[in-house]
Amino acid sequence: MKLSQAYKTSFSAVLHIAVLLCYPLVVVASLGIVLIPFFRAYLKETIGFGLLTGLFIAVFFLVSNTSFRRTFLIVSYLVLAFLAFLKLSFYYHYGVKLSASALFVIFETNTTEASDFLSNYFDLKIILLLILFLLPLFFLRKLFSSKSNLFKFREAFQLRTKSLKFRIPILLLIVILGYGIQSKFKAENIFLTSFSSYEEYVITKNILKDNLAKKHSDVFSDVTSEKGRQTYVIVIGESTSSWHMQLYGYHRNTNPLLTEIKDELTIFDSIITPDVHTILALEKILTLSDAKEPNKKSNGSIVQLANHAGFTTYWLSNQRPVGLHESVSTLIGNAATQKNFIATDNYNYDIHDENLFPFLDQILKNSIEKKVLFIHLIGTHGTYKKRYPVAYERFTEKSPNLKYHHKKAISTTNDYDNAVLYNDFIVRTIIEKVRNVDDKSYVAYFSDHGDEVYDTMDLMGHNSYHATPPMHEIPFIVWFSEKYKANRSFSTPKDSLSKRRYSLEDFIHTFSEISDITFKEFDPSKSIFNTEFIKRTRFIKTDVNYDKR
């Protein structure tokens, strides 16, 4: 082979290899513009991925054995293509970076079977994306044949690849690239985030398991409560934003039944959830933890507090207890005297909350004197269309006042509003059932978080990355029975009470007050009903002031 010929072959080899290894980066850089919201995030993702690509190319040059070089090239391509695919498909489905908080959603709310999850994940566009990543392997198959001399470029360049002069700069480059990824682009690296977020998830769950799943908690002391018949009901909603509720001024009549008894309700109009993920929100709402101090080491839940106070507790849930991962509300609910998990199907199936009623009737009927019921609804959890029976399909036309006018926004808004309408029926029915018992009772309803349904941005669902107001602003409504009101009243006028600005992270204190339970750590300034109530800074994401974002 003439030298010039050898150079030509070598150039072409280097070009082929560079094209192959840079291809995933090119796809991330081009499709990312469409799929990654916010230009800054797009830039970070692209640069981060570029560094990773550089790292693989540098390591490639260190491999001196020709046949191993071939294997290494194929493996490198597959790894880079897989990571790019994962990144882009995650943005496509969830509109967010594959991150700790995003993975929480999958670990926790996705009680779907793995096979169902995958079949949902791999829709047509995702399959096309997959093909896009497999294409180069087909076109460059020549590169991988054993006759290919494309890998012998080093001999042509007369590179002494084993000499230190060649190796030291490459090793230095690898260290620099590795350091760059670790220090500046850690969050963009899927390996690192997957590992650390899974660890965080397991820690949270273990703390919950050790502290909260037991009947009693050592953290509550000096617990007292009233004697006599009491039936208290906490209804925990799911993904229902106050932004789509008629009671909170939504333009569609999504709450006809609750509006009917509006005067009997205390409707708190300035309530936020401390977190937009079920697991992280409920951990703060139902226990002593809060946004500033999540995962408290010595923690106790309202279920345990009620147990201490001599109540028989019931956890009635329409959320599947075990799925890909055991859900955290299951752990909190585990402390209850009696547990009923009604739903066994995953979220892709029709699950309606009226399935809870026969169980509720039975509990309300029993002769036990002091009861606290926790009802965990499936509420308006996606897929919205599968949360209500046909009879509730009332909103079918294009909603007025839409911010986004595309087909998906129109139909999803209708589905969500129908689900909210059905939820209205569920909450009202629970109130009526408790009214019929004629005890000293209350029904308190709130949602764990809301959903963004194309209200402020072109997005559906919830994630702490965007954390929009519709995800944080939730309904909180309390109804008291006649016997309750005859026994006690709250001295603050209802009007000013309902305007109090509150984060449900302090709910345990409100729960304690309206349930006539006292305990040593009770802080009256954190109970929304108390005369000593103090308006506080509402934190989300540990230290972000929600009202001054």
Least Å distance, CB 281 to Zn ion, is 7
Between 77 and 347, name the residue whose CB sits nearer to Zn ion. 347
The widest CA-to-CA distance across the chain, in whole angstroms, is 104
CB of 524 to Zn ion, least distance (A): 29
Q: How far is the CB of 237 from Zn ion (least distance, A)?
A: 9
Residue 353 in contact with Zn ion, rule: CB under 5 A: no
Of residues 223 and 378, the one with the C-beta less far from Zn ion: 378
Q: Least distance from C-beta 264 to Zn ion, angstroms?
A: 27
User: What CA–CA distance (Å, rounded) separates 359 from 157?
Assistant: 79
Of 178 and 469, the one with the shorter C-beta distance to Zn ion is 469
Query: Is the Cβ–Cβ distance between 105 and 94 less than 8 Å?
Result: yes
Where are the alpha helices (H) located in 232-277, listed in sequence order? 256-260
Whether the Cβ atoms of residue 535 and residue 544 lie closer than 8 Å to each other: no
Q: Supply the minimum distance, in Å, between the C-beta of residue 439 and Zn ion.
A: 30
Considering the complex, state which of residue 241 and residue 278 has its C-beta at the smaller distance from Zn ion. 278
433-452 binders of Zn ion (CB under 5 A): 448
Q: What does the alpha-carbon distance between residue 16 and residue 21 come to, in Å, rounded to a whole number?
A: 9
How many residues sit in the footprint of Zn ion (CB under 5 A)?
Answer: 3
Q: Binding segment for Zn ion among 266-274, 276-284, 315-323, 432-440 (CB under 5 A)?
A: 276-284
Question: What is the tally of helices (H) and strands (E) in the chain?
Answer: 20, 15
Choose between 347 and 480: whose C-beta lies nearer to Zn ion.
347
Stretch 232-251: interaction string toward Zn ion, x if CB under 5 A: ------x-------------
- Report the residue number, 23 or 104, with the smaller CB distance to Zn ion: 104
| Stretch of 9-17, 250-258, 275-283, 359-367 contacting Zn ion, by CB under 5 A | 275-283
Q: Given candidates 278, 412, 468, 530, which one binds Zn ion under the rule CB under 5 A? A: 278
What is the chain's Cα-based Rg?
28
The set of residues, in sequence order, having a beta carbon less than 8 Å from that of 444 and lying 6+ positions away, is 232, 233, 234, 235, 476, 477, 478, 479, 511, 514
542 preceded by a cis bond (ω within 30 of 0): no
CB of 451 to Zn ion, least distance (A): 9
Residue 273: name the closest of 446, 534, 104, 449 by CA.
449
Binding mask 44-83 for Zn ion (x = CB under 5 A): ----------------------------------------
Cα–Cα distances (Å) from 173 to 168, 176, 462, in that order, read: 9, 5, 40
Closer by beta carbon to Zn ion, 252 or else 462: 462
Are 85 and 35 contacting, i.e. CB atoms less than 8 angstroms apart? Answer: no
Closest CB to Zn ion belongs to which residue? 278
Nearest-approach distance from CB 448 to Zn ion, in angstroms = 4
Tokens at 277, concatenated: 């993920």
Residue matched to tokens 């739903």:
343
Nearer to Zn ion, 283 or 448 (CB): 448
CB 520 within 8 A of CB 222: yes
Nearest 5°: phi and psi at 395?
A: -100, 105
Rounded Cα–Cα distance for residues 205 and 113 (Å): 20
- Residues in touch with Zn ion (CB under 5 A): 238, 278, 448
